[in-house]
């Protein structure tokens, strides 16, 4: 947002503008077509008809980092590949988000102890927004990760100054327990997907429960 980035007074109007921008960003996350190892098979499944990540606005897999917002790092990252991952991350335009998918990218996974050239977690060289554990994670877990990310994006400040609010994760989990960052005591309020709710007041009646 260039000149105005988090530079305008924190008033109702700028907050409303933020909401509109964030809603746009969260609702059309374009992931990068980039699979490194076995986890990529599940990432392909999540893009295919059965799980269909396009329902959540995140199904337009782009073949170039320059058109992508979301890097799903799906697979074992070793020392040789780490430079490539980092370069791809650097080539993505802002705003950009990273999902560490699978035990390998979260913390080394099966190669944690004896993987002499495996990076023990990609957060050692790129900032990670969501960790999705599993070996490999179920497609539902990836969807859940995307929904966590959407809530995180909705809480961001774009134009208005001020401290960012904490993301609201209630009701995100479609399959409790698959994504580790969720408080296990929180249970999904509904299994029906609703669009990120910040602009929900614009939806026709019945759009909010």
Positions touching other proteins (CB under 8 A) are 79-80, 82-83, 107-108, 112-113, 116-121, 124-125
Whichever of 107 and 188 has its CB closer to other proteins, that residue is 107
Contact track, ligand SF4, 63-92, x by CB under 6 A: ------------xx----------------
Q: Which of residues 134-173 bind ligand SF4 (CB under 6 A)?
A: 135-136
Output the CA torsion sign for 132, 137, 141, 143.
Answer: positive
Q: Return the structure tokens found at 77.
A: 């990252």
Measured distance CA(115)–CA(108) in Å, rounded? 8
Contact call for residue 104 and ligand SF4 (CB under 6 A): yes
Query: What does the block give as tokens for 199?
Result: 């602009």
The answer to whether 1 contacts ligand SF4 (rule: CB under 6 A) is no
Please give the sequence-ordered ranges of beta strands (E in DSSP) within the chain, or none if there are none: 70-74, 97-101, 130-132
Q: Which listed option, other proteins, ligand SF4, none, makes contact with residue 124 (CB within 5 to 8 Å by class)?
A: other proteins
Binding string, 18-57, against ligand SF4, x = CB under 6 A? -------------------xxx------------------
Q: What's the token pair of residue 168?
A: 């609201």
Instruction: Tell me, letter by letter, the H, E, C secondary structure of 96-126.
Output: CEEEEECHHHHHCHHHCCCCCCECCCHHHCC
């Amino acid at each position: 947002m260039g000149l105005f980035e988090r530079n305008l007074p924190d008033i109702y109007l700028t907050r409303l503008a933020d909401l509109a921008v964030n809603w746009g960003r969260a609702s059309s996350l374009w992931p990068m077509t980039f699979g490194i190892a076995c986890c990529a098979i599940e990432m392909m499944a999540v893009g295919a008809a059965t799980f269909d990540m396009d329902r959540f606005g995140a199904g337009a897999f782009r073949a170039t980092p320059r058109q992508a917002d979301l890097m799903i790092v799906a697979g074992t990252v070793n020392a040789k590949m780490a430079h490539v991952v980092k370069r791809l991350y650097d080539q993505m335009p802002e705003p950009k988000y990273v999902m560490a998918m699978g035990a390998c990218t979260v913390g080394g996974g099966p190669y944690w102890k004896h993987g002499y050239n495996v990076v023990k977690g990609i957060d050692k060289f790129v900032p990670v927004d969501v960790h999705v554990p599993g070996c490999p994670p179920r497609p539902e877990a990836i969807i859940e990760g995307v929904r966590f990310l959407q809530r995180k994006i909705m809480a961001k400040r774009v134009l208005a100054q001020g401290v960012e609010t904490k993301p609201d994760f209630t009701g995100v989990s479609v399959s409790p327990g698959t994504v580790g960052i969720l408080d296990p005591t929180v249970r999904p309020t509904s299994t029906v997907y609703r669009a990120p709710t910040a602009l929900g007041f614009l939806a026709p009646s019945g759009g909010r429960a």
